[in-house]
Amino acid sequence: MPKQIVQSNKAPVTGFTDASKPSPLAQAIRAGDFLYVSGQGPLDPDTKTVVSEDIREQTRQTLSNLVSVLAAGDADLSHVVNMRVCLRETADFPAFNETFRDFMDGEKVTRTCIGGTPHRAGVNVEIDCIAYLG
């Protein structure tokens, strides 16, 4: 089965600074029974600007964008088997984690969370995931 590109108009498409050239990135790719979702950040889907400086608001928006891409691939959080999180400031972890727990509403996933520097100024959290659709 060839890979299938998945796109949601309810989540921003970003990744490259030169808007005059098409991005080589997909929001998600389905390969067999798996959906691989590219890193999502705290950007408003319409304006493509960071929603807030607050890590809680950034976390909610990032997860909302991720859920929109999952939905475009006929999936939801119950299909997610793994998430990877990058936090600009590791000191934000407690507030991020509390917001993450509340957003997940009891859903279980495996997760790795690291400190790092997301590529875009003002972006303090980025999350990608893998969903199993079988």
Number of structural domains in the chain: 1
The values of phi and psi at residue 85, to 5°, are -125, 135
Residue 69 confidence (pLDDT) above 70: yes
Domain range for 55: 4-132
- pLDDT tens digit sequence for 74-88: 999 999 999 999 999
How many Cα atoms sit within 13 Å of 117 on the Cβ side? 2
Taking 80 as the threshold, does the pLDDT of residue 130 lie above it?
yes
Contacts of 71 (CB under 8 A, 6+ apart): 8, 10
Nearest to 8 by CA among 26, 34, 32, 25: 26
Distance in angstroms (rounded) separating the CA atoms of residues 37 and 29: 7
pLDDT > 90: percent of the chain? 82
pLDDT of residue 15: 59
Residue 97: CATH number of its domain: 3.30.1330.40
Residue 16 confidence (pLDDT):
54
Percent residues over pLDDT 70 in the chain: 95
Work out the mean pLDDT of the chain and round it to a whole number.
Answer: 93
pLDDT in tens, 10-52: 998 765 567 677 778 899 999 999 999 999 999 999 988 999 9
In the structure encoding, which two tokens stand for residue 19, read together? 């808007």
pTM summary value:
0.94
Kindly list the strands in the beta sheet with 4-6, ordered across the sheet, starting from the edge strand earlier in the chain. Answer: 4-6, 28-31, 34-40, 125-132, 80-87, 110-115
| In contact, 11 and 45? CB cutoff 8 Å | yes
